[in-house]
Amino acid sequence: MGNELQLSNRQKTFFGVLVCLIIPLSGMSTDIYLPSLPAIAQHFQTGKSLSQVTVTSFVLALALSQLIAGPVSDAMGRKILILTALFVQFLAIVAIIYSTTIQWMIGLRFLQGLGAAFMMVPVRAINMDVLSGHALKKQLNYNTISFAIGPIIAPFIGGYLQHHFGWQSNFYFLLIYIIIVSGLVLLFYRETLSFRHSFSIRHLWKNYDIILRNFYFLLLGIFLGTLWGYVAIFNITAPFLVQTVLQRSAITYGHIALLMGVALFLGNIINRLSFYMDKKIKIQGALWSISLLTLIMLILSGRGHLSLTLLTIPTFFIIFFSGIIIPILMGEAMIFFPELAASANACFFTLIWLTFSLFTYLATWIKIHSLFPLAMAYLCINLFCLIAYYGFIRRLD
C-alpha cells in the first residue's frame, strides 16, 4: 500500500490512537444522556415515550446512513468527511441544548445520528488505509476495546453530570469532546486515502442486491440485533424504573448502567478465553442460561417483587451471556462476500442497528410501573432467539 510506505511508525501509531479516541463518540452520544431521560421528559413537560424516542431517532439515522457513508468516504476522502460530520454533530448538539420542544430534539437527534455515521465509517477505514496483516488485526482489537469503553463509562459520567448540573451538561460534555477530536484531526491528521473512487448508485445497489439475497446473512444480522435488544430495552426503560419508580438518583442509574457495560465486555472476554471450545456449545449454553434468568425474573416480578437487585442481577447476566454469543456469530457473518467486504460490512451493521432501533422504539410502549413488563419483554426476545437459532441458524451453519 502506498500510504504504508510514506508513513512512519510514529505516524501510524498516532493515527491508531486518533481512531481509538473518535470511535467511542457514537456510543457516548446516546449512552451519556440515558440517566437524563426522566429529566428531559420533565423539562419538556411530555410523557416518557417522546423522551425515549430521542434515542430511537439517533440510532435509526446511524443505521440508515452507513449504507452510503462508505462509498461517499471513498469518493471524498477521509479527512474532509470526518471534519464535516463532526461539524454537523456540533451544530446539532448546540441546537439540542437550546431546543424548545421535544419534537425539535427528536429531529436534531436524527441529524446528530447522520453526522455520527458519516464520521464513524471513514474513521474505521483509516485503519485499512495505513495498516495491513498482523498490525491491522492488532489495531482492530484496540478499536473493539475503545468502542466498548464508550457504553461502559458514558452513563456513569452522565449520571453525575445529570445529578449536579442537569441534562444539558451531558451535551456540553459531547461538545467539548468533539472540539478536542476535531482539533486533532484538523491539525495532525493527513489524508490517508491513496486512490479515490467514483460514487455509483447503480454499482452500490447491485452489491446490496447480491448481499441481501443471502437468507443466512440476513438472519444473522437480525438475530444479533435482537440480542442487542436486551441492551436497547434496558437503556430505554431502566432510567425511569430506577429514578421514577424506585426513587433513586441519576447517579445510582449511572452505576447500574456501568455494570451492564462491564457485563457485555466480560462476555466478550470469556468468549475469547474459550476460543477453542465448540461454538455451538457456547451459544446453546448461553441461550438456555438467558432463558432461565428471564423465567426467574418473570416469576419473581409477577409476584410483586420490585427492587434494584431483581432488576440488576438478572439483566447483568442476560447481557453477559449475550456478550458471549455476539462475537461468535459476528465472526460468522464477516466471512461472507469477501469480494464485497465493505458493502457486506455496511449491510450487516445496518441490519443490527435497524433492529436495535426497532427495540428502542418498542420499549417506549412498555408500561413502567413494575419489573413484570420488562421481564415479559426479555422473555419475548429470548423466545425469538431460541426459535431463530434452533429453527434456522443451527441447521444452516
pLDDT at 321: 98
- Helix, strand or coil, per DSSP, at residue 255: helix
Lowest mean pLDDT of 80-84, 102-106, 335-339, name the range.
335-339
CATH number for 1-188 (one of 1.20.1250.20, 3.90.1310.10, 1.10.287.370, 2.60.40.60): it is: 1.20.1250.20
**Would 1-188 and 201-397 be classified into the same CATH topology?**
yes
Q: Where are the alpha helices (DSSP H) in the chain?
A: 2-6, 9-22, 24-31, 37-43, 48-76, 78-97, 102-130, 133-165, 168-188, 201-212, 215-227, 229-240, 250-273, 279-302, 308-334, 341-363, 372-388, 394-396
Instruction: Assess whether pLDDT exceeds 70 at residue 304.
Output: yes
Confidence of residue 327 (pLDDT cuts 50, 70, 90): confident
pLDDT at 183: 97
The span from the CA of 161 to the CA of 149, in Å, is 18
Instruction: Assess whether pLDDT exceeds 80 at residue 363.
Output: yes
Percent of the chain clearing pLDDT 90 (strictly above): 70
Q: What are the C-alpha distances in Å from 198 to residues 8, 117, 209?
A: 29, 20, 19
46-65 pLDDT, tens digit per residue, is: 999 999 999 999 999 999 99
Average pLDDT, the chain: 92
DSSP 366: S
Instruction: Assess whether pLDDT exceeds 50 at residue 1.
Output: no
**CATH architecture under which domain 201-397 falls:** Up-down Bundle (1.20)
Confidence of residue 2 (pLDDT cuts 50, 70, 90): very low
Q: Which residue, among 224, 234, 236, has the nearest Cα to 58 in the 3D structure?
A: 236
Find cell 424506585 and name the residue. Answer: 246
Delimit the domains of the chain by residue range: 1-188, 201-397
Of 147 and 214, the one with more pLDDT:
214
pLDDT at 74: 84
Instruction: Assess whether pLDDT exceeds 80 at residue 141.
Output: no
The span from the CA of 88 to the CA of 119, in Å, is 10
Q: What is the pTM of this model?
A: 0.92
The span from the CA of 32 to the CA of 333, in Å, is 30
